Amino acid sequence: MHVVVIGNGVAGVTAARTIRKRSDAKITIVSSESPHFFSRPALMYIYMGHLEFEHTKPYEDHFWRKNRIDLLHARVDAIDTTARSITMNNGSTLTYDALVLATGSRTAFYDWPGQNLRGVHGFTTLQDLAAIEASSVGARKAIVVGGGLIGVEAAEMLHARGIDVTMLVRENAYWRNVLPPEESAMIGAHLARHGIDIRYNTELRSIDGTECVRGVTLTTGETIASNMVMICTGVRPTTDLALRSGIAVQRGIVVNEFFETSAPHVYAVGDCAEQNGIVELLWYSARAHGEHVGAVICGERSPYARDVFYNSAKFFDIEYQTYGSVPAKLDGVTSIVWQHAHKDRFLRIVHRDGIVCGFNALGLRLRAEICMQWIRARTPVDVVLRDLKRANFNEEFFAWEVAV
């Protein structure tokens, strides 16, 4: 059997590794961005000088040969789903018995005037990073469009290199479409303390300049001068190859609960896949998809059941973790909230009729297993409060006296 994987991101690589653990199939990964797998969320650390590109590779280069996973650094231009073959941009072809599409996602540009000017960047790929690096030379001021997770990373990294940052946020508080008001407010204040100029209730109308960026115009008509513009308003699944090859695509490549696409022997996982109408643009989901599809390809045909949701991020110096569901508007749930008097530390436990359903933590580390187990088992919130110490994952000597 020959399994071909397109895309060496976390989804594709996890699928390949899972298959290798379970079978002797020949495995080939074809990817165009970089010869080896690297950690996409670590891009900002390269820019800030915390890491070099080499450090962001989760496996040493000899790992692939040792595990008999062939790597091809090429772009796939066509899939023939009847002949079961793919064609690459170097003209060569490969035939497959199973094909995994793990083509990921890219920055979405919403046709703003001036979005092709020099100095306007998306921030998802290595090539983006190299372009950002080139624009940064001599830059004094940057606009970050969008107040989400990638936006705050963009703001932090530019700021770390001495570039003044203005962030344009559509909502009236930071990431308010996802976070409840207290969390939004705490992070917004933290960014401001770091010297980020955040403008709420603002939207981009156009990017101005002739060849290079000179500034932006907001929908209010206000203009702000800048040398760089970072587009962080979201990403879009990379589906063009699937679309061209006659595979069903909506927002992402449509898959069933076995990650099977509309074409036989073709699967899709990670950022590019759409399951039950949902595209999950998360590292953790992409990894879980990869594990599952690997098992499916090796003959364990069980439907994918999503585990309790979790995510984490870092907003400058504030670590963020979330488990289960904490709706931004807090509809139909009751919160128990603890906040440190003067430090950036915050915990929200959410329950529905006394049954715990979610956690938000800022500046605190919670133990994932315990929180997820509580949510899975529909634990009464008093039990959670009584045993809260078990969920402490902070370092030693950390004062964990949650006075709820």
Partner 1 sequence: MTTINIMLPKEITDRHQLPMHERIGYGMVALAAFLLLLGAFGGPLTASPVLYCLLTIGLSTIGGLMVILPRFRQLPGIKNNGVMTSGLTRRGLLAWMLGVAFTAFYVILYWYPEYLGSMTASVDPISWTLRGAPADRWFLYGTLYTVAVLIMGIRMLAKYRHSPYHLVRTASVMLSQLALAFVLPAILVRLHSHEFYFHYFWPLKPDYLFPSSLQALFASDDKLIVFMGFWTVMMSFIAVPVLTYFFGKRWYCSWVCGCGALAETMGDPFRQNSDKSLKAWKAERWIVHGVLVFIVLTTALIWLNSWYGGEILGSWSASWAKAYGFYIGSLFSGVIGVGFYPIMGSRVWCRFGCPQAAILGLLQKWFSRFRITTNGGQCISCGNCSTYCEMGIDVRSYAQRGVDIKRASCVGCGVCASVCPRGVLKLENQ
Residue 12 sits in the site that holds ligand FAD (CB under 6 A): yes
Residue 187 sits in the site that holds ligand FAD (CB under 6 A): no
Rounded to whole angstroms, how far apart are CA atoms 76 and 86? 7
Q: What is the DSSP letter of 245?
A: T
Number of neighbours of residue 298 by Cβ within 10 angstroms: 18
Residue 35 sits in the site that holds ligand FAD (CB under 6 A): no
Give me the residue label for tokens 């699944």. Answer: 237
For residue 153, how many C-alpha atoms fall within 13 Å in the half-sphere facing its CB?
21
Task: Give the strand pairing for 76-80 and 85-88.
Answer: antiparallel
**Which of 8-16, 246-254, 316-324, 360-368 is the region at the interface with ligand FAD (rule: CB under 6 A)?**
8-16
Q: Are 157 and 188 in contact (CB under 8 A)?
A: no
CA torsion 118-121-124-125 (nearest 10°) is 10
Rounded to whole angstroms, how far apart are CA atoms 268 and 289? 9
What would the x/- binding string for partner 1 be over residues 62 to 81, using CB under 8 A?
A: x----------xxx------
Rounded to whole angstroms, how far apart are CA atoms 302 and 7? 24
Burial of 309 (C-beta count, 10 Å sphere; 0-12/13-18/19+): middle
Q: Are 125 and 39 in contact (CB under 8 A)?
A: no
Least distance to ligand FAD, CB of residue 104, Å:
2
Least distance to ligand FAD, CB of residue 167, Å:
15
**Which of 43-51, 102-110, 174-182, 197-205 is the region at the interface with partner 1 (rule: CB under 8 A)?**
43-51
Residue 56's binding partner, choosing from partner 1, ligand FAD, none, with beta-carbon cut-off 5 to 8 A by kind? partner 1
Residue 60 sits in the site that holds partner 1 (CB under 8 A): yes
Among 200, 258, 284, 338, the residue binding partner 1 under the rule CB under 8 A is 284
Residue 237 sits in the site that holds ligand FAD (CB under 6 A): no
Among 120, 145, 281, 318, the residue binding ligand FAD under the rule CB under 6 A is 281
Q: What is the DSSP letter of 394?
A: P
Q: Are 302 and 276 in contact (CB under 8 A)?
A: no
CA 184, 201, 223, 216 dihedral sign is positive
| Cα–Cα distances in angstroms (integers) from residue 184 to residues 107, 126, 173, 191, 356, in the given order | 24, 30, 6, 11, 22
Residue 271's binding partner, choosing from partner 1, ligand FAD, none, with beta-carbon cut-off 5 to 8 A by kind? ligand FAD
Q: Tell me which residues in 210-249 interact with partner 1 (CB under 8 A).
A: none
Rounded to whole angstroms, how far apart are CA atoms 190 and 152? 11
Residue 397 sits in the site that holds partner 1 (CB under 8 A): yes
User: Which residue's CB is nearer to ligand FAD, number 160 or number 385?
Assistant: 160
Q: Are 28 and 19 in contact (CB under 8 A)?
A: no
User: Which residue's CB is nearer to ligand FAD, number 71 or number 76?
Assistant: 76
Least distance to partner 1, CB of residue 13, Å:
10
Residue 341's binding partner, choosing from ligand FAD, partner 1, none, with beta-carbon cut-off 5 to 8 A by kind? none
Question: What are the residues binding partner 1 (CB under 8 A)?
Answer: 10, 32-34, 39, 41-42, 45-53, 55-58, 60, 62, 73-75, 89-90, 126-127, 129-130, 133-134, 137, 160-162, 193-194, 283-284, 287-288, 310, 312-314, 316-317, 319, 321, 365, 367-369, 372, 393-399
Question: What are the residues binding ligand FAD (CB under 6 A)?
Answer: 6-12, 30-33, 40-41, 43, 75-76, 102-105, 123-124, 150, 153, 238, 241, 270-271, 281-284, 286, 313
